[in-house]
A and B are shown apart, each in its own frame.
Chain A
């Protein structure tokens, strides 16, 4: 049971840290005018398909759009 208690406290701590981190991030990007101009950076971000399955020679979205407009 002691192990379960430790795990439970760890899970609660992770969730609390996530909320605190989120609040801090929000304060940093929204409440501080100077910081609001900078692009928002997250600690964890989802990757794009092109980053996982990139084959040399593939066009990026921007390149493909440019190619279409030629």
Chain B
């Protein structure tokens, strides 16, 4: 009976550790990870502590008599940033806390969430292009600049998707995508398309800005998760430096000395 009980606790803790690592991987902040995991742990009747680190999560279980004490460690970063998975995992935590689903059903739903397919690359591409063109308009670009940014994004984004799908280094991917997007949008300056070629050039690489890591870094900073905040911030800074290098390389090769 004791063994059976211990095994159940072990399964629940393994589930919690997996849950926390998946939340980390899909782009949740540390505050959300700790709150959601603690909510599920309370509902399951487990007394545990969660430590969130930049590359892994640790769940420490302290048994009353020390017999069940254990540490469960999971590596983070499974799925890439996904608001869909993030929302579904949060909903699952509330359903467990409200007693709407029992543990076996929660495990089944968690497995289902893990199999969530990412948004289709063509849908993303068709949305990112107009969104970046809208950014150009927001910064004062005219219609010619918007069209240029749209084309530059539609050229650079598939390159990013392809290189990521091929497993290329993310920094190299950002550099290449920024270079080609900047070079194509520089056509507005070279051929005299519209009155705001400078805005077209500057906004053509905005789709590459790692916004979620920057926002999460600030959120982690506010929640006093300084290690994770610094880690996310540095990751975002490195990617931003790469896209800046691509942008500068495009401008340098095309001889745009005005900027």
* Nearest neighbor of B180 in chain A, beta-carbon distance: A15
The listed residue (A7, A22, A42, A46) touching B254 by CB distance below 8 A is: A7
Which DSSP category, helix, strand, loop or mixed, fits chain A's interface?
Answer: helix
The listed residue (A11, A18, A19) touching B253 by CB distance below 8 A is: A11
Say whether B168 faces chain A, with CB atoms less than 8 Å apart.
yes
* Nearest neighbor of A3 in chain B, beta-carbon distance: B255
If A1-B190, A22-B162 touch, whether A8 touches B183 (CB-CB below 8 Å) is: yes
Q: How many angstroms from the CA of A46 to the CA of B158 in the assembled complex?
A: 20
Say whether A52 faces chain B, with CB atoms less than 8 Å apart.
no
CB-based A-B contact count at 8 angstroms: 36
The listed residue (B155, B162, B166, B186) touching A8 by CB distance below 8 A is: B186
Residues of chain A within 8 A of B191, CB atoms compared: 5, 8
Say whether B184 faces chain A, with CB atoms less than 8 Å apart.
yes
If A4-B255, A8-B190, A11-B253 touch, whether A19 touches B158 (CB-CB below 8 Å) is: yes
Task: Find the residue from A1, A8, A22 having the highest chain B CB count within 10 A.
Answer: A8
Say whether A20 faces chain B, with CB atoms less than 8 Å apart.
no
Say whether B210 faces chain A, with CB atoms less than 8 Å apart.
no
Q: How many angstroms from the CA of A1 to the CA of B255 in the assembled complex?
A: 9
Say whether A17 faces chain B, with CB atoms less than 8 Å apart.
no
If A11-B184, A15-B180 touch, whether A5 touches B190 (CB-CB below 8 Å) is: yes
Q: Shortest distance in angstroms between B253's beta carbon and chain A's nearest beta carbon?
A: 6
B159 touches A18 (CB 8 A): yes
The listed residue (B155, B186, B253) touching A15 by CB distance below 8 A is: B155
* Nearest neighbor of B186 in chain A, beta-carbon distance: A8
Q: Shortest distance in angstroms between A36's beta carbon and chain B's nearest beta carbon?
A: 17
* Nearest neighbor of A5 in chain B, beta-carbon distance: B190
Q: How many angstroms from the CA of A32 to the CA of B112 in the assembled complex?
A: 33
Q: How many angstroms from the CA of A4 to the CA of B180 in the assembled complex?
A: 15
**Per-residue contact bits, chain B 233-259, to A (CB 8 Å; 1 contact, 0 not):** 000000000000000001001111000
A8 touches B159 (CB 8 A): no
* 11 cross-chain CB contacts under 8 A: A1-B190, A5-B191, A7-B255, A8-B186, A8-B191, A11-B183, A11-B254, A12-B184, A22-B162, A46-B168, A46-B169
Besides A8-B187, A11-B254, A22-B162, 19 other A-B contacts (C-beta < 8 A)? A1-B190, A3-B255, A4-B190, A4-B255, A8-B183, A8-B254, A11-B180, A11-B183, A11-B184, A11-B253, A12-B183, A15-B155, A15-B159, A18-B159, A19-B158, A19-B159, A42-B166, A46-B168, A46-B169
Residue ranges of A at the interface with B (Cβ–Cβ < 8 Å)? 1, 3-5, 7-8, 11-12, 15, 18-19, 22, 42, 46
